[in-house]
A and B are shown apart, each in its own frame.
Chain A
Amino acid sequence: GENVEQHPSTLSVQEGDSAVIKCTYSDSASNYFPWYKQELGKRPQLIIDIRSNVGEKKDQRIAVTLNKTAKHFSLHITETQPEDSAVYFCAASQPFSSGSARQLTFGSGTQLTVLP
């Protein structure tokens, strides 16, 4: 099955700096890569996702890049703010049309702390 590794596990940045979180995946059939943000005591919420036919996607201060050859994808947050402090999870999913398990496999999470 799919294996997703996420680094770093903790990340502290100064307000206004950029933060980068990296993930690698093992299954070349995976074609959907979402990122979720989970604030303390709350449910995970999708912040951005990328599909395998795209190399980069941006939404205001958040961007995700995908390198299918190397099987890794990254989350970039620019001009960080204290409210960006949360746990961030990457995930990878195989297409539903495949015969194998159709599920999201999550990374272990990154605790991002933005220091004022």
Chain B
Amino acid sequence: DAMVIQNPRYQVTQFGKPVTLSCSQTLNHNVMYWYQQKSSQAPKLLFHYYDKDFNNEADTPDNFQSRRPNTSFCFLDIRSPGLGDTAMYLCATSEGSEAFFGQGTRLTVV
């Protein structure tokens, strides 16, 4: 019973080629988050939605954009990926204090 589903699980993209990561949820939670986790580092919050209200972290690069067309889906768009964007990208949802995570998308920029 997958509750937060991320696609694809693995993505390789070329330097500078736009890429979109997707996340869907069956929990009907009003909050959705995107985190970036680089090797041996803490997951870093990029942005989150509270319903349709978008909240961008101050240090999230402009290269990263997000869309939430409805409650169930959220997308992460990287307009011009750089080598430093190679990381695990984690989507999560919450209704209260506990966040539920997807399995992540491992993005490699070559």
Chains A and B belong together in one complex: no
